[in-house]
Amino acid sequence: MEFIDLRSDTVTHPTPAMREAMAKAQVGDDVYGEDPTVNRLQEMAATMMGQEAGLFVASGTMGNLVAILAHCGRGDEAILGDQAHTFLYEAGGISALGGVHSCQLPNQPDGSLAIDDIEAAIRPDDAHHPVTRLIALENTHNRCGGTYQTVEYKRAVSDFAHENSLVVHLDGARIFNAAVAQGIAAKELAAPVDSVTFCLSKGLCAPVGSLLCGSKEFIAKAHRIRKQLGGGMRQAGILAAAGIVALETMIERLAEDHARAKKLAEGLKQVKGLVVDAGSPATNMVFPSLAEDVSLSAEQVEEKMNAFGVRVRAISQRRFRLVTHYWIDDAGVERTVAVFRHVLH
Please report, as ranges, the residues that interact with ligand TLP according to CB under 6 A: 8, 10, 59-61, 85, 89, 138, 142, 171, 173, 199, 201, 210
Q: Is the Cα dihedral 168, 172, 176, 180 positive or negative?
A: negative
How far is residue 295's CA from residue 136's CA, in Å, rounded to a whole number?
A: 39
Smaller CB distance to ligand TLP: residue 38 or 271? 38
Backbone conformation region of residue 183, classed left if phi is above 0, alpha if psi is from -120 to 50, else beta:
left
| Residue (46 or 62) nearer to ligand TLP, CB | 62
CB of 86 to ligand TLP, least distance (A): 7
Provide the minimum distance between the beta carbon of 11 and ligand TLP in the complex, in angstroms, as a whole number.
Answer: 8
Q: How far is the CB of 199 from ligand TLP (least distance, A)?
A: 5
Question: How crowded is residue 166: how many other Cβ atoms within 10 Å of its Cβ?
Answer: 20
Residue closest to ligand TLP (Cβ): 60
Calpha distance 120→79 (Å, rounded): 11
Query: Is the CB of 60 or the CB of 288 nearer to ligand TLP?
Result: 60
The least distance separating ligand TLP from the CB of residue 277, rounded to whole angstroms, comes to 18
Concatenating the DSSP letter of every residue in 184-230 gives S-HHHHHTTSSEEEEESSSTT--SS-EEEEE-HHHHHHHHHHHHHTT
Residue 10 or 47: which CB sits closer to ligand TLP? Answer: 10
Closest distance to ligand TLP from the beta carbon of 272 (Å): 28
Separation CA 185–CA 188 (nearest Å) = 6
When the beta carbons of 15 and 210 are compared against ligand TLP, the nearer one is 210
Distance (Å, whole) CA 267 – CA 264: 5
